[in-house]
């Protein structure tokens, strides 16, 4: 607790005692000058001075208007702001190259806190934070805090485990596809967890991977997966296009964005698994407002609600929600730890012994795929040169 906040508590307590004294005596507060109010009876300048509003700036790599990951996080930002006095702003469509410029722009605007809302910015943020020690940063995708960087990340592989199980349960041929944006958080653990989730239903079930980022790439990936025999597809992309395209093609799909009430508008959407940062942002904003904010480390999980799983939708087979309900509590308590026991890679080599369990750091660093992952499809991501943006629009 900061000294500033202690002073505020003392002032509030003193005021309460004064009011209580007058109420108990049946008297009224003085209207003439006193030592507390000054000669005119008005509050002193220091007490009347309004508290400086905390300004927070968000930097998104994606477009906040395209219903993708950036749009979802922006909605959660707005929801958190509604319950505090913090003012927040954002800049979207920021490349890695232009991240330092976006930070400078928000700092010039008066933001003393910067939220780096994409794991792709993690590496460049380290250098930027070191050059802006008077600014506090919240870095999505970072695992190690520093004196001015709050590290928060999500164990999205927990959600992928549920998605894999539900996808397999709704598959008619034991083969599931997954479209993965290679720049998403912890793609290898997510793929492996989805494959292990499939194997909860089918011991010899297969997960076919396809890497894609842009919408046209996603179309090619979905078509290739369907041609490969995948009748259910899992989405793990920045863009919502996997779900949109699967809907057009009549392919069952599991999304990774929060569609809210719009979920019922999709005839082929089985369920969604997504990061839910409402509570996290709200807690951060309240601490900023109370001047108690300190850089820490936060890991989003199924247990704390930051990794969310929606209800199974009408297109899902009967019993889908039952198996989800059975698995989620076990994940939350750790009874269904995913990377535990013997694990083999795609070549059949034992990578984890039967009596072993991977710790989170080992999971994050995974560079091999578990047996049951088929990664023979081409990577559909095309190399693109980043376009430098010279001007930014700050949006409230």
Q: Give pLDDT tens digits for 76-121.
A: 999 998 999 999 999 999 999 999 999 999 999 999 999 999 999 9
Which of the pair, 392 or 305, is modelled with greater confidence?
305
Q: What local confidence, expressed as pLDDT, does residue 11 receive? A: 40
Per residue in 206-256, pLDDT tens? 999 999 999 999 999 999 999 999 999 999 999 999 999 999 999 999 999
The pTM of the full predicted model, rounded to 2 decimals, is 0.84
Decide if pLDDT at 47 tops 80.
no
* Separation of alpha carbons 6 and 140, rounded Å: 31
30 contacts: CB under 8 Å, gap ≥ 6? 37, 41
Residue 386: pLDDT band with limits 50, 70, 90: low
Which of the pair, 19 or 370, is modelled with greater confidence?
370
Determine the 3-state secondary structure of 289 from DSSP: helix
254-268, 301-315, 333-347: which range is least confident on average?
A: 254-268
Average pLDDT over residues 375-380: 91
Which of the pair, 303 or 31, is modelled with greater confidence?
303
* Strand ranges for the chain from DSSP E: 55-59, 87-91, 113-116, 136-140, 149-154, 175-180, 206-211, 232-236, 252-255, 269-275, 297-300, 307-309, 343-344, 350-352, 373-374
Q: What local confidence, expressed as pLDDT, does residue 57 receive? A: 97
Decide if pLDDT at 269 tops 80.
yes
Decide if pLDDT at 33 tops 60.
no
Q: What local confidence, expressed as pLDDT, does residue 37 receive? A: 37
Q: What local confidence, expressed as pLDDT, does residue 67 receive? A: 78
The answer to whether 250 touches 260, Cβ cutoff 8 Å, is no
Residue 393: pLDDT band with limits 50, 70, 90: confident
Decide if pLDDT at 39 tops 90.
no
Which of the pair, 273 or 14, is modelled with greater confidence?
273
Q: What local confidence, expressed as pLDDT, does residue 4 receive? A: 40
């Amino acid at each position: 607790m900061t000294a500033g906040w202690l002073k505020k508590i003392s002032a509030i307590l003193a005021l309460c005692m004064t009011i209580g004294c007058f109420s108990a005596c049946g008297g009224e507060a003085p209207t003439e000058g006193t030592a507390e109010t000054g000669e005119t009876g008005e509050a002193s300048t220091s007490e009347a001075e309004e508290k400086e509003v905390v300004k927070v700036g968000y930097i998104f790599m994606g477009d906040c208007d395209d219903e993708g990951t950036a749009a979802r996080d922006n909605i959660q930002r707005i929801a958190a702001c509604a319950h505090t006095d913090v003012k927040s702003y954002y800049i979207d469509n920021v490349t890695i190259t232009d991240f330092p410029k976006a930070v400078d722009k928000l700092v010039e605007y008066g933001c003393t806190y910067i939220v780096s809302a994409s794991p792709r910015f993690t590496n460049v943020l380290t250098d930027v934070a070191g050059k802006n020690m008077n600014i506090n940063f919240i870095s999505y995708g970072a695992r190690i805090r520093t004196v001015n960087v709050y590290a928060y990340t999500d164990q999205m592989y927990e959600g992928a485990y549920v998605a894999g199980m539900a996808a397999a349960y709704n598959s008619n041929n034991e083969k599931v596809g997954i479209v993965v944006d290679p720049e998403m958080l912890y793609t290898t653990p997510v793929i492996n967890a989805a494959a292990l989730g499939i194997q909860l239903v089918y011991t010899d079930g297969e997960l076919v991977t396809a890497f894609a980022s842009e919408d046209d790439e996603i179309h090619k990936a979905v078509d290739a997966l369907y041609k490969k025999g995948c009748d259910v597809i899992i989405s793990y992309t920045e863009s919502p296009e996997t779900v949109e395209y699967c809907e057009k093609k009549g392919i069952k799909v599991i999304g990774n964005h929060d569609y809210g009430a719009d979920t019922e508008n999709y005839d082929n959407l089985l369920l969604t698994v997504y990061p839910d940062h409402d509570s996290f942002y709200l807690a951060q904003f309240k601490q900023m407002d109370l001047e108690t904010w300190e850089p820490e480390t936060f890991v989003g999980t199924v247990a704390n609600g930051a990794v969310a799983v929606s209800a199974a939708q009408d297109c899902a087979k009967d019993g889908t929600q039952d198996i989800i309900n059975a698995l989620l509590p076990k994940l939350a308590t750790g009874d269904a730890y995913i990377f535990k026991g013997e694990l083999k890679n795609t070549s059949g080599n034992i990578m984890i012994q039967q009596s072993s369990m991977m710790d989170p750091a080992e999971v994050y660093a995974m560079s091999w795929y578990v047996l049951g992952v088929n990664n023979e499809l081409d990577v559909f991501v095309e190399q693109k040169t980043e376009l430098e943006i010279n001007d930014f629009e700050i949006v409230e």
